[in-house]
Chain A
Amino acid sequence: MPLIGVPHKRVEDPRLITGRGRYTDDVRLPGMLHAAILRSPRAHARIEAIDVAAARSAAGVVAVYTGRDIAGKVGPIPTAWLPPDSDIKATAHPALATDTVRYAGDGVALVVAESAAAARDALDLIRVSYEPLPAVVEQADAMREGAPLVHADAPGNIAFHWKAGQVSDAVFSGAEVVVRHTFRQQRLIPNPMEPRAAVAQYDRATGDLTLWATSQNPHIHRVLLSGVLGIPEHRLRVVSVDVGGGFGAKIACYPDEALTAFAAMSLGRPVKWTETRTEHFLATTHGRDMVIDVELAGRREGTLEAIRVRNIANMGAYLSTAAPGVPTILFGLIVTGAYTFEHAAVDVYGIFTNTTPTDAYRGAGRPEATYLVERMVDLFAREIGMDPIEVRRKNLVRPEAFPYPSALGLSYDSGNYQRALEQALATVDYLGLRREQAALRGHGRYIGIGCSSYVEISGLGPSEVAGAVGFQGGLWESANIRVHPSGKVTVFTGGSPHGQGEETTFAQIVADRFGIPIADVEVVHGDTARIAMGWGTYGSRTTAVGGSAIAVAADRVIDKGRKIAAHMLEAAEDDVEFAQGTYQVRGAPERSETFQAVTLQAYLAWNLPEGLEPSLEAAAYYNPSNFTFPFGTHVAVVEVDPETGDVKLLRYVAVDDCGTVINPMIAEGQVHGGIVQGIGQALWEGAIYSAEGQLLTGSLLDYPMPKARFFPTFETAFTETPAPHNPLGAKGIGETGTIAATPAIINAVVDALQPFGVGDLAMPLWPERVLQAIEAGRDGR
């Protein structure tokens, strides 16, 4: 029975929802110590002196370290994405600040104690005298002449300057219609349910260091931390099995995990560090924070011709691990969206400020790009007096155009953008809604309909491209499939799922191919000692790339089994077919052997074909030939309360195409979570700093994370246009919702407020802001 496309319940869930998961903070080792990190309360200051004497002598305290104490022992944390030709100033992040703190939350001292409480108490005993320095928070201010410098060697606070594409001025000067707008992508704070944590255990006898850490990519952490700590890579084991969400914030390598490992090595006892939620807000990477100027040129009859984009991205105080790739490659190459722009150009500045470093956050660059193009299409439609849906219909890449070479050099692999758009419109009854909207306006009620037809780059990605764009790693993925003598299977994947359900999806892929029950397949991930190599989970790559590696390895297992079965059946290998768990001589169903029988023979090796080695196991290292390009259309229907500015979500329809769907229930769950986060940016989320660099939204009391009760039931559906270049046809679904939802909501609210002449609204749409726009519109009339 085929298992691809079956909504099998998640096999990891009984473990996770009954509290039997083993997250990093659950690791308890004999003799374990606890670490706490003192963080700078100031955004920018010179450290004049640190007095740790009282903390060192406090009850239960084992050690206190400052930046000077770890000099030469813990190196700075490097940046691992260096876009070429961008004059990048990859100022590495010292694990503890020695002379200067550059953001509120920058680590200043490390306390290790017998208990977490003693470590926390000791933080209050450390006296640091700071000489305040002027801080700079907004990227525009940081670029101004005479602005305080975050790093002396980055003049103008410019961390990098990257460009792609070209549009001649003539295209714009000669255009029938030019629309210009500036969008603010507010800073977001990722909040996975599990905060970051690390437990380190050092074996002085062997020199082996085991680090349990909340990582989306333990092998990347291993290679980076081996450098930071000066420990040979083969002596370092990173374990990240159960990880409670990451959303990009657990890609980065942080000082804290390195400090925990250092403490374990220097004290010879296991050490645990777990961040508090307050620390998380300050010391774990943030996302977005870009100011984006866009110019769009088009024709009166609705054709989109050219787009020019300038992005000023706030990188925070240091360039986090993958951060430079976000506003450049992951943003810049997809600003043309799903449309046939002939010309496009992107100009990106990465700017240092005295704020928490930014890095990938679910979607990472692609939500920002999609937001601008989807908003611009609506603004353009209004400018030329055309329904925004018509503009989309006119300009979406047509099905026969694939593989489609985009103006920015990508090759969109496959798609039927029109089908997803029309299905979404039919689901909401677009024309009916337009009639209802007109009728309700007569009664002083304002509903709005917003659309977003996105395409994203996912399935990261060909390793050659990774190299060309400065990613300091490969982007292939590994799989190892070991069939045990009884026919049960262990799959080792280099992907590192942390909530996405690949223990189930990957078991489905293998069980489907082998014709065995899903329960016979175990998926192992997130442990560098058990998995040879892997690049981890981010960029919606795990199923498209890691799953494809598994499919290739599974086929290798089947092929070896076929040799054994042919020998057992005394048939030619070419005459043996494998289907539904049985090798069978073509046309002779009575001559067959089960997968299990063949496996057993592989291990017994009593009667193997000549020259064939025993055992049944295969590895694959799958390097994709292209990115994958999921797409779809989301439609939001909202009602705005004209007296309060409150936005109510009436309906939300999502039609997504992520290629072949392995498990529709899990895919739908990913869409739901993505939509929630995308709407979270549109309506509620946003970090606010004071001018002095204090994070004013530094807790869950101030920073509104979306909650289930804020939402209507989502109406989701999939179309399936397989990726043509990987064995599964799968594209990736982890980020689509986040990418599509934000502009759909803003387009809907702006649409609702047409009678008030509202052209744009700054996110998040806190009701007071919406009301102000309504009142301004009323006053204007």
Chain B
Amino acid sequence: MTGTTSQNRTNTVSATAAKSSPTTLFGLVLVGLLGLVVLMMFSGSGIAQQEAPPVVEQPVLVVPIAYQTQYAKPYRATGKVESNQQALIGFENGGKVAQILVEDGAQISAGQILAKLDIQRLEAQLAELTAAQSLVEAEVRLAKNTKERVVDLVSRKLDSAQRLDEVSENLNIAQARLTQITAQLNTVRLEVKKSTIYASTDGNIIKRMVDPGAVVGVGQPIFEIASNTELQARIPLPPEVATTLNQGDFTALSVGNISLNGQLSALGSQRNLRTRTLDAFFSLPANANVLVGDLVRANLTVTVAQTGAWVPVSALANGIRGMWTVLVAQNTGETLLESRTVEVIYTDGDMAYITGALQTNELVVLAGTHRFIAGQKVTAALYSQLP
């Protein structure tokens, strides 16, 4: 590139005349450098060197706890509605059933005829005895007439005293026979009466067990009737719950959607081996629109005397060896969290009744314990103060 060089050489000679050139050069270079520096400093939307990021202090809500001396535990039990008077009734005799006058589910009133046995045999006996009665009545009349005649004869000394005694006793015999027959007749009539079943109380026929024409034995149940005037609920309860109830107390019961007030009338005295419960009987109000056999639910509350405090389950955090802990803030504002071990006496899934290393009015972390560790610095605020 010798050509260029010589050209430049000639230019150098003339350049000495332009003395201002170094400053122009310096000026240009300086401008260029500064421009570059400024460009660099303004790049990236001015993301300057960041100040050290802060230590994030988590906000936390706390609530003061209050100890109580007892707590209420709900207990739900289910039982059945029964009738106070529910019985299986039948004939006192055996025989063939002639008539059944009511069907299943029929309403009955006290004294109503329900069923009749076949009384043909009894009627035959009745006819037999009635005929016998007529016979004996005739004998009594004869004896009476005979006695009157003989008394007349004896008074006119026409007959012996012996004859008088004979006819008197004959009259007695005939009268005694009449009494006997009458009594036999009454017996058969009683049997006829007992071949009918009468309703003993108002109520319903639960079940008719026998059809007309069947031959039944003594005491075989024909009907199951239940009184609908007095219903009761039999609810099995564990003894520890049952003993908290007093006789005569009213309890809220529910059958389906209907709510009732039942009054405790009796408690069973023997514990059922399988279900470990006692039966509690609640008498239901008379106009309750329930059926025998309906399922009745009782929502009872059992008060247990034990000191503790209620906290929401979300305030519990895990501890070692299966124990629970809660986190406690020493004060509101900036504070450190402490971990205290507690024991859960009872929980229903949403709230827990606890006792443990806590004092009344200490501030317990309400929720979100999975965010925190004991010893962490937080900003605590009272729950009610939430904006």
Q: Bound pair: A and B?
A: no
